[in-house]
Structure 1
Amino acid sequence: MTTIPARLAQTTRISGSLAESHARARSLYRNYFRSAPELCALYALDVPPSVVRAKLRQKFEAHRHVRDIAVLDVMLFKAHIEYQETMNAWKQVPHIMRWFAEEEAAPTPQTFLEKFYAGRDEGRTPTGQGN
């Protein structure tokens, strides 16, 4: 498959109002949402498109509280670059799977026994005696 660099390229835009930037964000979200099956096929991911869509929604929802138009414009610009790089296959599978890394990370042990079972002995002193 050959990629055409300008296939998804857009010029940088400055939003005139908060409503306009929200409309641009919804448009970008829809593009991501619609391309989830293609993304799974393109990168041969072993996650279904529904999981990719849920992760994309989570990423967009994390920035829902932003109200500054200039900040939103920069975030939209970066998100569109991410979309273009992803859909033009300029990434590798580990780049895509990094989106899911926080779900796969094991919780850090908190209590003494959890640390012991995990093989952590941070409380040991150089002489071999614990605190």
Structure 2
Amino acid sequence: MCEVGYKVVRPLMSKDCKEARRRAIGLYRAFYRYIPYIIKYFDIEKNEQDCRWKLREYFYRNACITDVRIIDLLVIKGYIELKEITSSWQQKSHVIRHWNPTIEPKRYDFIGKFMAGMD
């Protein structure tokens, strides 16, 4: 007979979804407040509205996640990113990369593959 066992895991920071949500909203507010300084110190060609839309896009991308441990992990990574920006450990190119993807899509047609030097 096959028995199903569950492993009890310890939470990273939050004990339940409510606390994890509160931490995520705190991260959102911290980034939201720092947007004018990012624009000023990194001298990026975006206005506050563009930066706020990009921030909202990142948070909406992960809105469907319900596992508390994954939410905590993403919040920790977000605070690390904010610390790197506020301490000037990141430079302008690190901030601008959020608007300019460097990954080019693969070509699937014959001419595109031929021009790219692929088989």
**TM-score range relative to shorter protein:** 0.7 to 0.9
Q: CA deviation at 1:20?
A: 0.9
Q: How far apart, in 1, do the equivalents of 2:104 and 2:70 lie? A: 33
What is the CA-CA distance between 1:53 and the residue it aligns to?
A: 1.2
Within-5 A mapping of 1:38-117: 38-102=37-101, 111=109, 115=112
Deviation at 1:48, TM superposition (A): 1.1
TM-superposed deviation, 1:122: 3.9
Match of 2:6 in 1: none
Matched residue pairs, number?
A: 108
TM-score, reference length from structure 1: 0.70
Name the residue aligned to 1:10.
none
Deviation at 1:79, TM superposition (A): 0.6
Q: d(CA) in 2 for partners of 1:121 and 1:91?
A: 35
Percentage of matched positions with identical amino acids: 24
CA distance in 2, matches of 1:56, 1:86: 14
In structure 1, C-alpha distance between the alignment counterparts of 2:61 and 2:41, rounded to whole Å: 26
Once the two structures are TM-superposed, the CA of residue 121 in structure 1 deviates from its matched residue by: 5.6
Unpaired stretches in structure 1, ≥5 consecutive residues: 1-12, 124-131
The TM-score, its normalising length taken from structure 2, stands at: 0.76
Q: Tell me how far apart the structure 1 counterparts of residues 117 and 90 of structure 2 sit (CA, whole Å).
A: 39
Q: Which runs of 5+ in 2 are unaligned?
A: 1-11
- Measured in 2, the distance between the counterparts of 1:75 and 1:107 equals 26
Cα distance in structure 2, aligned partners of 1:89 and 1:121 = 40
Q: Which has the larger radius of gyration?
A: 1
Q: How many angstroms apart in 2 are the aligned matches of 1:121 and 1:88?
A: 43
Q: Which runs of 4+ in 1 moved over 2 A?
A: 104-113, 119-123
Task: Determine the C-alpha separation between the residues in 2 that align with 1:109 and 1:72.
Answer: 35
Report the RMSD for the aligned CA atoms in angstroms. Answer: 2.2
> CA-to-partner distance for each residue in 1:38-85, whole Å, 9 max, x for gaps?
111011111112111111111111111111111111111111010111
Cα distance in structure 2, aligned partners of 1:108 and 1:56? 27
